[in-house]
Homo-oligomer: A and B are copies of this chain.
Amino acid sequence: MINVGVLGATGAVGQRFVQLLASHPWFNLQTLTASERSAGKNYRDAVNWRLDEPFPDSVGDIVVSKTDVDSVKGLDIVFSALPADLATNLETDISRAGVAVCSNASSHRMDKNVPLVVPEVNPDHLGLIDLQRDSGNDGFIVTNPNCSTITMVSALNPIQHRGLSDIRVATMQAISGAGFEGISAMSIYDNVIPYIGSEEKKMEAETLKIMGSFDGSVITNAPFSISASCHRVPVIDGHTMAIWVDTKASVEELKNDFRNYKAPFTGLPTQPEKSVLLFEQEDRPQPRLDRNRGRGMTVSVGRIREGVRFIAMGHNTIRGAAGASVLNAELIVSKKYL
């Protein structure tokens, strides 16, 4: 068994990590960290469990540690659900202490030597781990992208080989993306907020890196442009987005690409049966009905139309955050980086 921990285990993404790791077949969840206020309590008492999935009793008695290097030293992998301002230095320090960090934080995503990985899309980017290890320690940082980026690149991946350019994306993002307390009910109920701080820049920059090519030493950005417009809507979980791509392929060819798509690996525990699922009905996918497909790890696409326009939708705190990070860790293990 591989010993793992979660940094920031009481927040919205932290609880998802715990849910996914509590009975994981490869990973032994040993350490949960949180703020000073929670440290020393049993996780059961420290957390206000707010997922609809039941609380995993098996980890209820873990004593919560402070969020620092000492708490996780000796673990094989640590998953980070930290806010970016805390993550920046601490993730570096933890990796230097010899621990593999699989991070959902944005701090290091764009660092030159840090892989920004969606397993189905750019598993070869894990090669950057070797460059991080050149500095002589065993630890490293691997990041997953922003929740809206993951859904988009997962949906573009099966058709990237057709040649894509001039991508536009308008998102309709769920409330949970801002954490349990991030958005007040008075702000979003019966409303749309047409702005999510720095989200558009993240979607644009991260997508170019992820879909870029890696020659063993550097990543060259993907050769297309992206223009994003990001909006919050009153939905609990599930980011929906309208995507336009310029391509010479026909709608029917693209549909077949989606229908025939297979992930480039099998056997990872968190991997869904279908990483990308094409809907043929004209009114799908829909977040409430489709976000839990593949236990929240399937990205759904539909309405492939002339233009070319289509809809993509994915669960933002599972496929778009904690599940993404856990799948990265499984890929890291299966590729023997650990």
Q: Does A233 contact B (CB under 8 A)?
A: yes
Q: Is the CB of B194 within 8 A of A302?
A: yes
Contact B242 A186 (CB under 8 A): no
A85 within 8 Å of B (CB atoms): no
A227 at the interface (CB under 8 A from B): yes
- Minimum CB distance partner of A52 in chain B: B292
CB distance from A46 to the nearest CB of B (A): 14
Question: Scoring A residues 173 to 202 as 1 if CB is less than 8 Å from chain B, else 0, what string do you get?
Answer: 001100111111111111111110000000
Q: Kindly specify which of A96-104, A125-133, A303-311 makes contact with the partner chain.
A: A303-311
Q: How far is the CB of A204 from chain B (nearest CB, A)?
A: 10
Of B188, B283, B293, B307, the residue contacting A194 (CB under 8 A) is B283
Q: Count the A residues whose beta carbon is within 8 Å of the partner chain — how many?
A: 55
Instruction: Chain B residues near A54: list those with CB within 8 A.
Output: 292-293
| Closest chain B residue to A302, Cβ basis | B194
* Chain B residues within an 8 Å CB radius of A194: 240, 242, 283-286, 302-303, 311, 313
Asked if A254 is at the interface (CB within 8 A of a chain B CB), the reply is no
Residue A231, interface by CB 8 Å: yes
- With CB as the reference atom, state the residue of chain B lying closest to A197: B282
Q: Mark A225-267, 1 if CB is under 8 A from B, else 0.
A: 0010101011110101010100000000000000000000000
Residue of B nearest to A286 (CB): B191
- In the assembly, how many copies of this chain are there? 4
For A285, give the chain B residue with the smallest CB separation. B194
Kindly state the separation between the CA atoms of A229 and B240 in the bound complex, as whole angstroms.
Answer: 12
A50 at the interface (CB under 8 A from B): yes
A168 at the interface (CB under 8 A from B): yes
Contacts of A110 in B (CB 8 A): none
Question: Within the assembled complex, what's the spacing in Å between the Cα atoms of A289 and B168?
Answer: 27
Chain B residues with CB below 8 A from A180, complex form: 184, 186-187
**Separation of A292 and B176 alpha carbons in the complex (Å):** 19
Q: Given A195-B283, A227-B307, A242-B194, are A234 and B185 also a contact pair (CB < 8 Å)?
A: yes
The yes or no answer to A287 lying at the interface (CB within 8 A) is yes
Kindly identify, within residues 255 to 303 of chain A, every residue whose CB is under 8 Å from any CB belonging to chain B: 282-289, 291-293, 302-303
Rounded to whole angstroms, the CA-CA distance of A185 and B175 in the bound complex is 7
> Which 4 A-B residue pairs are closest in the complex by CB-CB distance?
A170-B170, A229-B242, A195-B283, A191-B288
30 contacts between A and B (CB under 8 A): A52-B289, A54-B292, A54-B293, A170-B242, A172-B172, A179-B186, A181-B186, A183-B185, A183-B186, A185-B189, A186-B236, A189-B288, A191-B286, A192-B238, A192-B287, A193-B283, A193-B286, A194-B284, A194-B285, A194-B286, A194-B302, A194-B303, A194-B313, A195-B282, A195-B303, A229-B244, A229-B311, A231-B240, A231-B242, A233-B233
